[in-house]
Amino acid sequence: MFFVLSKTLGFFFVPSNLIMAFGVLGLGLIFSKRRRVGGWLLASCVAALLICGFSPIGALMLLPLERVLSMLAEIQAFAQRIPAKLMSPRASSRT
């Protein structure tokens, strides 16, 4: 149960998938009694996809992730320079 829930929520946490889901909802509302709301929602989703697709917003959203990953790479490079004797669990348990 947790696996299915995590995959479903993970799918909808991707911004483009969330926008598309609202677009499909708007398209469905167009064919129901709520045409005005559906049209507004669909137009908003198309505008959001265009803005996010053709503007530097996507690149700006990736900057914090790139900074974290570069720091992680630096930490791993530093950890590889530490001698294996210092990192073994037996060396730390001796007093």
Q: How many domains does the chain have?
A: 2
**67, 41: one domain:** no
**37, 9: one domain:** yes
Give me the domain span that covers residue 50.
Answer: 1-55
Tell me: the pLDDT tens digits for 7-59? Answer: 888 888 888 889 999 999 999 999 999 999 999 999 999 999 998 888 888 78
**30, 67: one domain:** no
DSSP reduced 3-state for 23: helix
pTM, rounded to two decimals: 0.59
**pLDDT bracket for residue 93 (50, 70, 90):** low
**79, 40: one domain:** no
**45, 12: one domain:** yes
Tell me: the pLDDT tens digits for 46-66? Answer: 999 998 888 888 788 778 888
- How far apart are the C-alpha atoms of 74 and 66, rounded to whole Å? 12
Contact (Cβ atoms closer than 8 angstroms) between residue 22 and residue 45 = yes
